Structure 1
Amino acid sequence: MTDLQCLTPTQQPRVSDHMDQIKDMITQIINNDCAYIIDGDVYFAVDKSPNYGRLSGRKLEDNRAGERVAVDSRKRNPADFALWKAAKPDEPSWDSPWGPGRPGWHIECSAMSAHYLTFKFDIHGGGIDLIFPHHENEIAQSCAACQESNVSYWMHNGHVTNNNEKMSKSLGNFFTIRQITDLYHPLALRYFLLGTHYRSPVNYSIAQLEIASEAVFYIYQTLRDCEDTLSPFQEVNGQNVCITPAAKDCISKLQTDFQTKMSDDLSTPHILNASLQEALRFINSGLNMLKKKQQKQQQLSAVQSLTELEKEVKGALSVLGLLSTLAYSEVLQQLKGKALRRAGMIEDDVLHLIEERALARKNKNFSRGDQIRADLASKGIALMDVGKETIWRPCVPVEQEPQAPAAST
């Protein structure tokens, strides 16, 4: 998770360490006449919760009992759910005022949330499949324990699918983060995940990871080029130089879009696919213009414009967790290393083929030179001729055209 630039949780509580808090909350719910005891089991009485269903939008009378688990005939209402379950043979159990047993599924979360965050806190997250019954029951029992209980925002993430099939161990299409980052840079995986709105299903596929990896390389190559090009102009910083109107508009649009879209339920796909791309294109265009001969004042203005825009881009990347603490060059080298691993090659292999291609072209054997380039592109390695030099970079693997069969004689 650290590689993905996820912040470490302040607390990572375990249910077994919070039995006292769980039993205290159940006791409070019983004292408030919202739960009842039967043979060592404690059930929440949903009839005591007038707003039950407010999160999911489901009405109590629409729920059909017995579809998920067998209905306990001892319950007053089939929708009532367990706060405490009496001990069964060979199951872990703890002592309680109602006899030995263990907590129900829902009460654990309410008790630990209240312990660390109080009964009022801002955000509660979880998978979309937890809206009902889990989170609905959390709300009901928390309010039964404390009338002032409230969560300001419920955020539910979509499921992860693999090539449009639900990802699961039983189907054999399940991957761990470690398996993915063995072949793809963690920033590429993060970019891929941010490319889909968190409430929507995330369709995991190699093709999408390849696209994300190329996008991250483009970002860091742009930042590296900007750093290299602007480094000789460090004396411009601090001078009273105005940025260009076009740069000012680009910066303003990035700031406005970022604030608006991120405030709109964290619309990260729009930022990655529109606002950020537009700013990166502007930077690359500005870098090309800066290389051309210009008047001194125009040059200084261009430098200041690119400097300010680079800061805005880095600020957006930082919020999104896509700004590495490593040097741009190091991130680029890591991305190239992952591409080589996916291609089953080492850099010496690529450099050897670059030399072979150069020799073929020198001997006017252009078909061989083109074939070398196509073979590498099919493995996710793109060759780029820059002046008299050929360099390589990762790319989305390109399918080769099928070769025509040789003519028979």
Structure 2
Amino acid sequence: MRIYNTLKRQKEEFVPANNNDVNMYVCGITAYDLCHIGHARSSVVFDVLYRYLKSVGYNVNFIRNFTDIDDKIIKRAGEVGKEASEIAEKFIGEFYVDMDKLNIQRPTVEPKCTEHIPEMIELTQRLIDKGHAYPTPDGDVYFKVRSFEGYGKLSGRNIDELESGARIAPGEQKQDPLDFALWKGAKPGEPFWESPWGKGRPGWHLECSAMSEKYSPLPLDIHGGGQDLSFPHHENEVAQSEAATGKPFANYWVHNGFVQINSEKMSKSLGNFFTIRDILDKFLAETLRYFLLTMHYRSPLDFSFEALEEAEKGVKRIYSALNQVNAELAKTAWKKSPFPEELTAELEAIEKHFDEAMADDLNTAGALGHVFSAVRLAGRVCEDKNLRKSEGGRDFFERIKADVAKWAGVLGIFERDPAEFLTELRDNRAARAGIDPAKVQELLDARKQARADKDFAKSDAIRDELAAMQVEVKDTPQGATWDVL
């Protein structure tokens, strides 16, 4: 596998530090609000990376933290008159609701900041002892940015350029405007823990460094997160961890791109901010997950409901093809006749290309293209009467079905029973169009009775009524089925 390493600004062959064991740390949410589609993208990207690494034989120790104490959490708690811990627990629970719907696998370990305060105090003390940090009279502890020679190497920032825009806020007792807080002295009414510097709480950057070191030997093989975390969060993690340990912090840095709304950055102030639940109120979770994989993870992803509708069509095409394959495999009579070797060779090439796409910096967009190639190939076999009835055709359908199941396990989509999914998708689309499935079924039953009574004028009138409702009717040997136009 080759993966783009932000630290080196290029794709590199992925070689874990310890043979088949991979230690991967990904920054999780700050638990003060519902998750938005930016969180969804990051979660899906690293879920696919986790699944892929396991699928090719690695033993993956996947660490994803929860920040459950932070300025934003404290502010929200004050606004609603609750304890910060209540706010954090509430939104950690809501996070799981959303992520379970998106088929996100649970990491190996999910540490919470508040459960690792001793490790954070110990790391802060190490940095003070080594001359990389200093306490202030009001109980804060700051990291000395200029004491770490490599500061800026991850994000490509120049320390002199950073200095020109840096200021010391009123009340801060920094020695240098660039220094950042490792430990924050408690303000009245805030949660706190006892420390050698007085009552206080850890700074955001410190949390991830301490929890990384707790659950993995350093260097980490992979450290990941959204592109927005590259600076200052990840840059500060590098500085404090490497200053404390004298070792590289992570060998590969992986960052996913932004989600944009109609080519603009998502922002509450612009009114273009969507939570995961805003979207799942209208679309199925699998449609959203599929959409998030249609663009390379490092590229910006432009979200719109029109784009989501296109993604929905793609999901439907795959499931419809799988449903057709299942229908063919349900047959019991198969003819012994030769099966074209070139079709088998074509499928083998598709299998190879899927693997190559995933190994090339997790190119899910390319991999999805090869899934479509496989189901199109199945469609060609279905269209040929002799092939679809042959034993070779049966074996070919079985192989395609097995391939898609394997790929589905990596991508986290196309794992549902096709018939059940297509029914759920139809009803979801009907709800968006204001169509009542019960009313549709009532009309279909009436049409069926009219046809039995040979009242074809009434049957046609009902079909026209359904068409006016944007309902398409298909007559099959098993009876009439319907879909949304």
Interval of TM-score (by shorter of Structure 1 and Structure 2) = 0.7 to 0.9
SS in structure 2 opposite 1:63?
Answer: helix
Aligned residues: 381
Out of 100, 104, 116, the position equivalent to 2:215 is: 116
Letter in 1 for 2:103: Q
Structure 1 residue 245: Cα displacement: 2.2
Residues 211 and 313 of structure 1, relative CA distance in 2, 3 Å threshold? same
The whole-number CA distance in structure 2 between the counterparts of 1:383 and 1:166 is 42
SS in structure 2 opposite 1:2?
Answer: helix
Out of 307, 315, 322, the position equivalent to 2:413 is: 322
1:282-336 CA deviation, whole Å, 9 max, x = no partner? 11111121xx246x9x822222222212211221122100132x43221121111
Which piece of structure 1 moves more, 39-48 or 123-132? 39-48
Q: Is residue 304 of structure 1 aligned with residue 395 of structure 2?
A: yes
Structure 1 residue 123: Cα displacement: 2.0
SS in structure 2 opposite 1:53?
Answer: coil
Where do residues 241-256 of structure 1 align in structure 2 (5 Å cutoff)?
Answer: 244-256=340-352
Letter in 2 for 1:321: G
1:216-274 CA deviation, whole Å, 9 max, x = no partner? 122112111111112224889xx9x98632332232222222121111221111222x2
Structure 1 residue 191: Cα displacement: 0.5
The whole-number CA distance in structure 1 between the counterparts of 2:353 and 2:405 is 15
Residues 15 and 69 of structure 1, relative CA distance in 2, 3 Å threshold? farther
Letter in 2 for 1:323: F
Q: Which residue of 2 aligns with 1:175?
A: 274
Structure 1 residue 120: Cα displacement: 2.4
SS in structure 1 opposite 2:184?
Answer: strand
Q: Which residue of 1 aligns with 2:353?
A: 257
Q: List alignment gaps of at least 5 residues for structure 2.
A: 1-98
The whole-number CA distance in structure 2 between the counterparts of 1:181 and 1:242 is 47
The whole-number CA distance in structure 1 between the counterparts of 2:469 and 2:318 is 22
Residues 351 and 89 of structure 1, relative CA distance in 2, 3 Å threshold? closer
Out of 8, 13, 19, the position equivalent to 2:117 is: 19
Structure 1 residue 365: Cα displacement: 12
Structure with more contact order per residue of length (Cα contacts < 8 Å, sep ≥ 6): 2
Letter in 2 for 1:268: T
Where do residues 214-225 of structure 1 align in structure 2 (5 Å cutoff)?
Answer: 214-225=313-324
**RMSD across aligned positions (CA):** 3.3
Q: Which residue of 1 aligns with 2:435?
A: 345
Structure 1 residue 101: Cα displacement: 2.0
Letter in 2 for 1:37: P
SS in structure 2 opposite 1:232?
Answer: coil
The whole-number CA distance in structure 2 between the counterparts of 1:132 and 1:102 is 22
Letter in 1 for 2:109: Q
Letter in 2 for 1:303: R
The whole-number CA distance in structure 1 between the counterparts of 2:271 and 2:365 is 29
Is this contact kept in 1: 2:291–2:311, CA < 8 A? yes
SS in structure 2 opposite 1:302?
Answer: helix
1:85-122 CA deviation, whole Å, 9 max, x = no partner? 22333332222112222222210111111112233222
Residues 348 and 94 of structure 1, relative CA distance in 2, 3 Å threshold? closer
Structure 1 residue 36: Cα displacement: 2.0
The whole-number CA distance in structure 2 between the counterparts of 1:321 and 1:288 is 29
Structure 1 residue 193: Cα displacement: 0.9
Is this contact kept in 2: 1:107–1:141, CA < 8 A? yes
SS in structure 2 opposite 1:174?
Answer: coil
Is this contact kept in 2: 1:43–1:75, CA < 8 A? yes
Q: Which residue of 2 aligns with 1:403?
A: none
Is this contact kept in 2: 1:4–1:187, CA < 8 A? yes
Q: Which residue of 2 aligns with 1:226?
A: 325
Where do residues 85-96 of structure 1 align in structure 2 (5 Å cutoff)?
Answer: 85-96=184-195
The whole-number CA distance in structure 1 between the counterparts of 2:346 and 2:404 is 11
Residues 217 and 173 of structure 1, relative CA distance in 2, 3 Å threshold? same
Residues 391 and 178 of structure 1, relative CA distance in 2, 3 Å threshold? same
The whole-number CA distance in structure 2 between the counterparts of 1:303 and 1:200 is 40
1:364-389 CA deviation, whole Å, 9 max, x = no partner? 9999977963x455xxx545566997
Residues 69 and 243 of structure 1, relative CA distance in 2, 3 Å threshold? farther
Structure 1 residue 192: Cα displacement: 0.9
The whole-number CA distance in structure 2 between the counterparts of 1:222 and 1:165 is 36
Residues 164 and 12 of structure 1, relative CA distance in 2, 3 Å threshold? same
SS in structure 1 opposite 2:142?
Answer: strand
Q: Which residue of 1 aligns with 2:26?
A: none
Out of 104, 118, 121, the position equivalent to 1:6 is: 104
SS in structure 2 opposite 1:311?
Answer: helix
Which piece of structure 1 moves more, 52-61 or 151-160? 151-160
The whole-number CA distance in structure 2 between the counterparts of 1:7 and 1:322 is 12
The whole-number CA distance in structure 2 between the counterparts of 1:269 and 1:69 is 45
Letter in 2 for 1:78: P
Out of 205, 220, 228, the position equivalent to 1:129 is: 228
Letter in 1 for 2:367: I
Q: Which residue of 2 aligns with 1:276?
A: 371
The whole-number CA distance in structure 1 between the counterparts of 2:170 and 2:160 is 16
The whole-number CA distance in structure 1 between the counterparts of 2:413 and 2:148 is 44
Letter in 1 for 2:123: M
Q: Which residue of 2 aligns with 1:32?
A: 130
Q: List alignment gaps of at least 5 residues for structure 1.
A: 396-409
Structure 1 residue 74: Cα displacement: 4.5
Is this contact kept in 1: 2:472–2:484, CA < 8 A? yes
Residues 364 and 74 of structure 1, relative CA distance in 2, 3 Å threshold? closer
| TM-score, normalised relative to structure 2 | 0.70
The whole-number CA distance in structure 2 between the counterparts of 1:73 and 1:347 is 62
The whole-number CA distance in structure 1 between the counterparts of 2:456 and 2:478 is 12
Residues 146 and 394 of structure 1, relative CA distance in 2, 3 Å threshold? farther
